[in-house]
Amino acid sequence: MPATRFCTFDDSLWPLLFLRVVGEASSQQFEEYLEASASYFRRGEPHVVVSDLLHVGMVSAELRRRQAEWTARHDGLIRETLLGNAFVINNAPFFRLGLNILFHLNPPSWPYVVVSSMEPALAWAAGRLEDSGLREPAERVRRHFGLLTSSPSVQGR
């Protein structure tokens, strides 16, 4: 489980990957986050990411630029392996608006959903796994979190 001080990756329920971000990142921490992210894509295995951004801090313009460059450089690998990303963010209007604007201007090439709590994110992630033919991992995720077998409808792409 690679980790930095501001983010933690948990792959214990692979092909479900949790990313939890807390606070703000230094440039070095952000580079570590990008490298850890790349390591999961280099596995070459289909997976779903649940990004817990409930406690994320501000992200500087420079780090947003680095993220965009990294995403463009890894686009092929991301398209091949990422089944979807569920973003869990609080209802802070400023942060939600910023994410919506970002996705409107530069929409991700993968399916995603933005929700305000973990349960719908997990249900959506399990649904993505099942829809992609990964029924056993989807059921394992549902059992682990006590989710219903049929995922509720969640707005997303």
Average predicted confidence (pLDDT) for the chain: 88
Q: Which of 55, 57, 2 is nearest to 31 (CA)?
A: 2
Distances (CA, A) of 132 to 86, 121, 148: 16, 17, 18
Full domain range(s) for residue 46: 7-145
In a domain, 131, yes or no: yes
In a domain, 155, yes or no: no
In a domain, 157, yes or no: no
pLDDT band at 6 (very low <50, low <70, confident <90, very high): confident
In a domain, 83, yes or no: yes
- On the question of pLDDT at 141 being above 80, the answer is yes
pLDDT, tens digit, 9 for 90 and up, residues 7-27: 999 999 999 999 999 988 999
In a domain, 52, yes or no: yes
Domain CATH code at residue 41: 3.30.750.24
pLDDT, tens digit, 9 for 90 and up, residues 12-70: 999 999 999 998 899 999 999 999 999 999 999 999 999 999 998 888 889 988 988 99
pLDDT value of residue 151: 47
**Distance in angstroms (rounded) separating the CA atoms of residues 89 and 76:** 27
In a domain, 151, yes or no: no
